[in-house]
Chain A
Amino acid sequence: AQSVTQLDSQVPVFEEAPVELRCNYSSSVSVYLFWYVQYPNQGLQLLLKYLSGSTLVKGINGFEAEFNKSQTSFHLRKPSVHISDTAEYFCAVRGPSGGSYIPTFGRGTSLIVHP
């Protein structure tokens, strides 16, 4: 079984500042890692994913994440945020469970961008 920990429930930041949203996972087997964004009253949209290969993954809207196997982390970063980045961000891990690969979501981090 796998688990995901998002350490920060809320991250306030000023517009044009950099931001990092933290995600740590635990699993006894290889997993696949994802970051999703959810805007108010909408479904989840995939920002980026790590499957294998390069540990630095670039996604949509200027976001990137780095997979660190030794620290079991997959932190999400953006060098300069916009007001429109205000949303809920979920880290998810997908690993084997009885023949299927069921995603496990973290509790979410609310990114609040102030003008």
Chain B
Amino acid sequence: DTEVTQTPKHLVMGMTNKKSLKCEQHMGHRAMYWYKQKAKKPPELMFVYSYEKLSINESVPSRFSPECPNSSLLNLHLHALQPEDSALYLCASSQSAGTDYEQYFGPGTRLTVT
């Protein structure tokens, strides 16, 4: 099983809502990532978890709050978002955050903030 799953596929939320994105992998990978991707742009790294600990936070606003409850799950909690946060949010995993391990990407959650 080389699949990374993400739910929901689409999400529309208002600026005062609280919602969560979920990502799951069962490949035994110990590194998990959140990316934000705007249309026609490359993915921008947001967070990296290594062995369930947050190892990298790329200066992401606090309205985005990641959580890694166990080695298979990664959540992204959203609160008080802005319309400019509308994007495709991609989750990825790799065997480790080190060296050459390739990343496996999920299909993404298309987020629209109204």
Given contacts A49-B100, A108-B42, contact A100 B107 (CB under 8 A): no
Contact B98 A101 (CB under 8 A): yes
Query: B98 — which chain A residues lie within 8 A by C-beta?
Result: 99-101
Spot the interface stretch: A11-19, A38-46, A64-72, A78-86. A38-46
Contact A102 B56 (CB under 8 A): yes
Contact B110 A107 (CB under 8 A): no
Would you call B99 an interface residue if the criterion is a C-beta within 8 Å of the partner chain's C-beta atoms?
A: yes
Contact of A51 among B100, B107, B108 (CB under 8 A): B100
Classify the interface of chain A: helix, strand, loop or mixed: strand
Query: A34 — which chain B residues lie within 8 A by C-beta?
Result: 102
10 extra interface residue pairs, beta carbon distance < 8 Å, beyond A43-B107, A46-B103: A45-B105, A46-B104, A51-B100, A90-B43, A94-B100, A100-B98, A102-B97, A103-B103, A105-B42, A108-B40
Residues of chain A touching chain B, judged by Cβ–Cβ distance below 8 Å, are 32, 34, 36, 41-46, 49, 51, 88, 90, 94, 98-103, 105-108, 110
15 contacts between A and B (CB under 8 A): A34-B102, A42-B107, A43-B4, A43-B6, A44-B105, A94-B100, A100-B56, A101-B97, A101-B98, A101-B99, A101-B100, A102-B56, A103-B103, A107-B42, A108-B42
